[in-house]
Amino acid sequence: MTDVFLWLAVGVLGGLGAIARFLLDALLSTATGARFPLGTLVVNLSGALVLGLLVGLALSANAYLLAGTAVIGSYTTFSTWMLESHRLAEDGRRWLVWANIVLSLTLGVGAAVVGRLLGAG
Amino acid sequence: MERNRAPAGSAGSRLALALRSLPLDRQELAAIFAGGFVGAIARAALERTLVAPAGRWPWATFIVNMLGAALLGYFVTRLQERLPPSLYRRAFLGTGICGALTTFSTVMVELAKMLESGHVVLAVAYAAVSIAGGFAAVFLTTKLVRRARLSQ
């Protein structure tokens, strides 16, 4: 694959990852109607699991760039996690802020570890 | 992100209702795709330029996450509180660019690797500084936009 095609593919796959995040988040936010940002949490945890799996599979550099960095990197989001935590804090929902941060971090690392073990099989 | 809320009901009926009300606006999805395209290339290019050796601070991921959090706080506050509502700007700049520029999964994999290789102090520092820094970035840009509004 030439470099131009490779980077175009990174862009296209990144765009699709972003759309998948948007749709799943919208679906979960509408379905639960809760103040807790469950949509972003589910997106981020599922992405951490799959990225861990891809690392465990020990793909070639380019395959990891496309499946991992482009798709899953764009699918998960750090900025929305922080924005939603900040907005919860502004609303005085201190417990939800801590829940959002601690659950994302602990379950996220756990998902990455489990994914890696599954991938390395 | 918040959307219109479904009325109470069984989980199944709420999910069915949510499916029907999914925001399948083609232009909005195109805006998200375009933003995701840009954000993913920018992040991937930086990850390839600043490769972090095992047991070292992952600068590439850290930089995109701090930058993306700052930009998202700026864009969302500005779009929600200062400019006339525009679905596509929020979709392109926020959900697309900032969402794809930043990455949660990479941080988790980096933390898992640090812990597995015994770099516990580095892992704790990286997690704490990323979260405190990302939160502070949103806080500061939000404040900046609101101050600019008040001074007008």
How does pLDDT run across A8-25, given as a tens digit for each residue? 999 999 999 999 999 999
Burial B19-32 (b: 16+ CB within 10 A, else e): eeeeeeeeebbbbb
Which residue in B90, B73, B81 sits closest to B27, CA to CA? Answer: B90
Cβ-contact A42, A24 below 8 angstroms:
yes
What's the DSSP call for residue A76? S
Which chain A residues are within 8 Å of B92, Cβ to Cβ? none
pLDDT confidence of A1, banded at 50, 70, 90? low
- pLDDT of B8: 53
| Ranges in chain B, pLDDT < 70 | 1-9, 19, 23, 151-152
- pLDDT of A31: 81
Which chain B residues are within 8 Å of A113, Cβ to Cβ? 112, 115-116
Contacts of B22 (CB under 8 A, 6+ apart): A23, A26, A27, A30
Cβ-contact B65, A8 below 8 angstroms:
no
A27 close contact with B: CB closer than 8 A: yes
- pLDDT of A18: 98
Please judge whether A73 and B105 are an interchain contact, meaning their C-beta atoms are less than 8 angstroms apart: yes
Which chain B residues are within 8 Å of A33, Cβ to Cβ? 5-6, 8, 14
Q: Which of residues 52-81 of B touch A (CB under 8 A)?
A: 65, 68-69, 71-73, 76
- Residue-wise pLDDT tens digits, A108-119: 999 999 999 999
How close B112 gets to chain A, by Cα (Å)?
A: 6
Best residue of B14, B33, B109 to probe chain A, by most A CBs closer than 10 Å = B109
Structure tokens at B92: 């392109």
**pTM, to two decimals:** 0.90
Structure tokens at B141: 């840009």
Burial A61-77 (b: 16+ CB within 10 A, else e): eeebbbbbbbbbbbbbb
* H, E, C per residue of A99-110: HHHHHHHHHHHH
- pLDDT of B9: 61
Nearest chain B residue to A110, by CA = B112
